[in-house]
Amino acid sequence: MEFVVGAIILVVGLLASAIGIYQFVWPLLKRHVLKRPDPPLATKEDIERLEKKLALPVEFLDGLPEAVNKKLRAAYQEARLLQLEGYEAQSAERHQEAINRFARALRLAETDSQRAALHLLRGNSYLFLSQYKDAQADYEDVLKLAARMSPYEDAAQARATALGNLGNVYAERGELDEAEEHHKQALDMRREIGNRVGEAGDLGNLGAVYGRRGALGQAKECFEQALDIHREVGDRLGEAADLGNLGLVYRDRGDLDEAEEYHKQAREIHSGVGNRLNEAQDLGNLGLVYQDRGDLDKAEEHHKQALDIDGHIGNRLGEAQDLGNLGLVYQDRGDLDKAQEYYEKALELHDEIGNHLGKAQQLTNLGNVYLERGDLNEAEEHYQQSLEICREIGYRLGEADNLGSLGSICLRRSAPGNLDRAEESFTQALKIHRELGNRAGEARDLGNLGLVYRQRGNLEKAEDHHLEGLKIHREGGGRLGEANALGNLGLVYLQRGELGKAKEHLQQAQAILQAIGAGGEGPENVQKALELIEKLERRQREGGEGEPRSEG
């Protein structure tokens, strides 16, 4: 019998903001006084209402809301209102209309600071639509404009905002080294000009990069610094975001009690200020914590509450994420038909709102369902579709994860050549994760390559890969990954006949899985392996055959 602990399980479809990437979208307020401002247009109140409802920043370069040029002011307000409505309804169509209106406003702009503000705003709509090249072009235009702007503080603020947004583009693509570099530059500039709120936001973005990379200690440090600043300046919504991000760090570490407490604190703030959109996100994150504990009823309850709120406020992206999360609950229960139903609903919604990344995630989830059913051809087809979308939009992290999933299919096929194909897929995934600086993904790929080598009987190479993966998991603080690596090492030693070493590693894995309340097949497989060792040890004591048979 073969016990595989920690073969890649690609769980995609969690809350899209799972590590909480902030969106720096609006530059600073004009610092000089405009002469004879005209009365505000009728849409200004609508803009302010939506900004407040969506908890979005309201600072702008060069006073665009009160611009003296009536045509420019009207074009800006039309575009801005469409953009806000696009965020509210998660509507790709509204964002595309906003992009067209921002282009008209750009033609009417009279100063470099006005142009910079409009490029920043238009870039954000491109980013929403996953049109990363266009978003990057807009933000890079801001950097060029900032070089000609004055006073220095205004130029520095525009530059810092553009750098932060470029960091978000790279983070969305999964290019974490570039994202880190841009967020660090933005952070240095905010500190130089004394912008504490911007500094907190950049720290949050930097923490998000570290979180995606699996460097949970660094992520925690950044989020805690951001939290201190937000509390210092009295920014309750910023405080709630930091608490939620810290909850995600603790969840990734396997410390589910701490994660639950932080998400509850975040929810309390959002509920207190009437921010229903973020309250739904907190409920979803709590649902994921309960799911990790194996408390599927409580997880389902929280995801359904989130779905009710998102449906009531018209947050279609949130609805799609909630549906995907409910699918994960049903899949964990073994109800694959219901899981498939919810993933397909989520896929349909993502398709309607033009969220390409969401489509890729749900295609992967559907692939996971087919994989669990043993329908390898359908699983492969869905992973391949997801892979193509990720490559099309430049999402390299998703590309690597799907390559890992395709490798998992090859591991399960018995036809000649499949181990070679699995090795090729895992090696490609490893190369991308290393290029992106994604240590958690690198550790998974090393573990999967270890499984390939174990199946080939190359136990020395399998051991080397699992040990390397274990080191990374321990450095990053990922307790579940650490347990998986220990379990797989135990199986290598079991296959070698080193029962004492196998037992030691499997018991360490079991202790971690129990400590973090892990559910699923992992704990069961570890227990089965330990029972097998006990049986073999008993045979040895009784003078029977003591060497375990080769697995697989």
Quick one: 195 and 88 in the same domain? yes
Asked, for residue 19, whether it belongs to a domain, the answer is: no
pLDDT of residue 6: 31
Cα distance between residue 184 and residue 438, in whole Å: 17
Q: Which of 284, 314, 344 is the last residue of a domain?
A: 314
On whether residue 25 sits in a domain, the answer given is no
* Domain-ending residue, one of 270, 298, 314: 314
> pLDDT-derived band of residue 414, with 50, 70 and 90 as boundaries?
confident
Contacts 24+ apart (CB under 8 A), 405-409: 405/8, 405/10, 405/364, 405/367, 405/368, 405/371, 405/379, 406/380, 407/8, 407/448, 408/7, 408/8, 408/10, 408/371, 408/448, 409/371, 409/376, 409/379, 409/380, 409/383
- Structure-token match 């300046």, residue found: 233
Same domain, 410 and 280: no
Structure tokens at 103: 């282009």
Q: CA nearest 351: which of 372, 332, 312, 323?
A: 323
**Are 308 and 404 part of one and the same domain?**
no
Residue 372: inside a domain: no
CA distance 479 to 472: 11
Residue 488, pLDDT > 70, answer yes
Q: Within this chain, do residues 51 and 188 fall inside the same structural domain, yes or no?
A: yes
| Residue closest to 264 by CA, chosen among 291, 302, 238, 295 | 302
Within this chain, do residues 288 and 198 fall inside the same structural domain, yes or no? yes
pLDDT tens sequence across 78-121: 999 888 888 876 677 889 999 999 999 999 999 899 999 999 99
Residue 79 belongs to some domain of the structure: yes
Judge if 297 and 421 occupy the same domain.
Answer: no
- Contacts of residue 127, defined as CB under 8 A and 6 or more positions apart, other chains included, come to 23, 135, 165, 168, 169, 172
Residue 190 maps to a domain: yes
- Evaluate whether residue 51 is within a structural domain: yes
pLDDT at 37: 35
CATH code of 495's domain:
1.25.40.10
Residue 93 sits in the same domain as residue 233: yes
Residues 305 and 409 reside in one and the same domain: no
One domain, residues 285 and 154? yes
Q: What is the pTM of this model?
A: 0.77
Q: What is the mean pLDDT of residues 225-238?
A: 95
Rounded distance between C-alpha atoms, residue 480 and residue 486, angstroms: 10
Per-residue pLDDT tens digits for 45-90: 888 888 877 766 644 455 677 777 889 988 998 999 888 888 876 6
User: Cβ–Cβ contacts within 10 Å for residue 67, how many?
Assistant: 26
In-domain check, residue 347: no
Q: Which of the listed residues 314, 337, 366 is the one where a domain comes to its end? A: 314
Q: Is 401 in the same domain as 300?
A: no
Residue 326 located in a structural domain? no
The tens digit of pLDDT for each residue in 155-165 reads: 999 999 999 99
Print the domain residue range for 529. Answer: 395-541
Confidence class for position 397, pLDDT limits 50, 70, 90 = confident
CA distances from 392 to 138, 258, 388, 395 (A): 20, 38, 6, 8
Contact 530, 512 (CB under 8 A): no
| Angle at alpha carbon of residue 368, lines to 362 and 373, rounded to 5° | 135
Same domain, 415 and 310: no
- Out of 77-91, 347-361, 464-478, pick the least confident: 77-91
Query: Is 399:391 a contact under the CB 8 Å cutoff?
Result: yes
pLDDT band at 377 (very low <50, low <70, confident <90, very high): very high
Start-to-end C-alpha separation, the chain: 7
Mean pLDDT for the stretch of residues 359-370: 96
Burial class (CB in 10 A: 0-12, 13-18, 19+), 489: buried
Q: In whole angstroms, how far apart are CA 465 and each of 86, 426, 483, 496?
A: 46, 12, 15, 16
What value does the mean pLDDT take over residues 499-517?
Answer: 92
In this structure, the answer to whether residues 287 and 401 fall within a common structural domain is: no
CA 196, chain centre distance (Å): 26
pLDDT value for 57 = 60
Count of domains forming the chain: 2
Q: Are 214 and 478 in contact (CB under 8 A)?
A: yes
